[in-house]
A and B are shown apart, each in its own frame.
Chain A
C-alpha cells in the first residue's frame, strides 16, 4: 500500500452502472468493485488509500460518477487517518 494519498474522489455510487472501466484505468490500482450493489443493483467502485488524483477514472467513466480532488498536502494512509473509514 502506498504511504500517502495525494488526491481523493467523491463517488456518486447511485448513478454508477457497474461497467468496471475505471478499475483497469486507475494507474495506482486503488479502485476495487464493491461486494454489495447500489439501489439499482449494480456493483460500484470503492477507493482504497493511495489515490494520486490523476483523474484517469473521471476521464474513462461513461456515467460521470467521479469528482476528483487534489490534497494541498499529501495525507498519510495510516489507519487513524480521518479520511478512511
Chain B
C-alpha cells in the first residue's frame, strides 16, 4: 500500500482540482475585489499551464513570497485580517495558491476541504436561489473531486454522477437538520451584507423628478397576499412616507418620533386582512393599504398614519396587517397640525396663489374650492408622461401653466400648493399605487414602477381626505397601470411592455418560485420553526426538545439504515458469508483475500504461506467454489461449516 501522503496526483486529478477551484471561486467573483479574482485566476491558469506542459511546480521559496505578498495585499485592502471579507479574500488566495504546491492526493484533500468552505461563503453575499445553485454546483464538483482523488482511473462523467448520487443520499439528513436544528434569532453575522446597502426605492423627500426615476425599475418593492379577494385596483393605495413640510421646492416628512399606537381607534367592521413581505430597503417604512387599522407587535405608527417597522428593513420582513379602505381620520386634528399643512414660503408660485384667490372668492365652502380646483386640473388638459420637461424655481406654476406635462409628483406638488394657497390644509403622501397579481401563486406583487404620490386635504368635519390629482388627468393610471396611462413611445420598464407577454409569463413563474424560496427557506426563522413543530405535534418546541428530537430522529435514521444493511447481509449467500469469515480470520495473519482473488487462487496462496493447512484450505476452497458457483448441492453447506469449524491454521 502506498503511503498516505505519498500518492502523487495524476493529471486527471489535477484537472479535477482546478475545476473545483474554478467552481467555488467563480461565483464569488462579483462579490469580492476584482484584483482577488485576477490573482486567483492567474494562479489557476499557471497551475493548468504547468500541468499541460508537464513542468515541475514552482519552488517553495517563490510560493512563500507569493503567500506573504497576498496576505499583505489583503491586509492593505481591509486594514485587518479578521472578519468576513478579509477571511473570504484570504481563503480565495490560499485556495488558488495551494494548487501551485499540490503534489500528492493529501494536498488535493486540503484543496477540496477549503473549497467546501468557500462554497459556503457564497451565502455571506447572497442567499437567493442563484447563489444556492452556484453553491450546490461547487459542492458537487468538490465531492466528485474527492471521488476522483480516491479513484484516479474512473471516467469523469461516472465520477460526477456518483458524486451527485452521494449528495442526493445526504439530502434527507440535510432536510432533517434544516427543519429541526435549533434556529438562532436573527442572522449570525448580519447576513447578507448587501441587504442594507443602497437600493432603489422611495426616498423621504419629494421634489419633481424623484419618483419618475423609479418608473424605470421593475425591482420588487413588496408582495401582498389578501385573506380574501384582491380589492379593486383603484383602491390599492399603499401608504408610504407622508410629507407635510414644504420649502418651496421639496416636500419633507415631519420630524417626530412614531407612536406605539395609531392616533385613531380601530373601526368595528370593513377590515381587509392581508400579509405583506417587504423587500429590504434600509428604512423603517412598511407599506400598508390606506388606512391601516392598528399597529402590531412589530410596528409603530406616525402621527400622519404611516406604519413603520420597529427594526429597519435590512432583511425581508413579513407583517400581518389589517386595513380599512373606507376609513377617514383626523377630524379632530389640532390647530398646530393644520397650520403646518397650510404653510407656503413667501413669494412661491405667484400664479397659483392668484388662481387660488379667485377660487376662494367664487366659492362658498372648502368643498366648493376643492371642486373648482379639480375641474381646473381637468380642463387644463395636463399630460401624464414619464419624460416631463425640466422645471425651474416655481415648479408648480410652471407645471400647471407652461409645460403642462408631468409625472405623479408634479401633479401632487401642484395640487398641494394650490390647496394651501386657497387656505385648505394639504399634504403630499408617497407610496405605491396598484400592483399586479401573479397568476401562478396569487400573490400581489408591487414593483418600484408602481411608486406614486398623491395628496391629502383636510376638510372640517371630515378630516383628511385623499385626493389624487393624477387620477383626474390620467384615470387609467389608477384604474389600470402605468403602461396604459403614459403616451405611446415613452420608455417603459421591461415588465410593463405588452409585447413581451412571454417574458412576463416567465417572470411571473420565477417570482412565484423566488417568493416561495424567500418564505420557506430564507424566512424559516425561530417563529416559523416553532409554528411548524407545534403543528407537527411538539407542544413546547424549545431548543432542548428540538435537540432531543433531532438526536432521536437521526438515531432512527441510522437504525433504519443499519437494519437495511443487515437485511442485505442476510440475503447474502451463506457460503459467501462463511468464505468472508475465513478471509477475515486469515486476514489477522496477513492473508486476507484480495477483492479480485478467486477461491482456488486464494487457496493456493494460503497453502503456499501455511503449508500445514494446505489440504484443509484446498478442501474448503473447493467446497465453497462448488457451493457458490456449482450447480446446486446445498448439502455441501453443512460440510463447509464443519470444515470451517475444524480449520485452525
User: Are A and B part of the same complex?
Assistant: no
User: What is B's interface to A at a CB cutoff of 8 Å?
Assistant: none
Contact surface of A with B, Cβ cutoff 8 Å: none
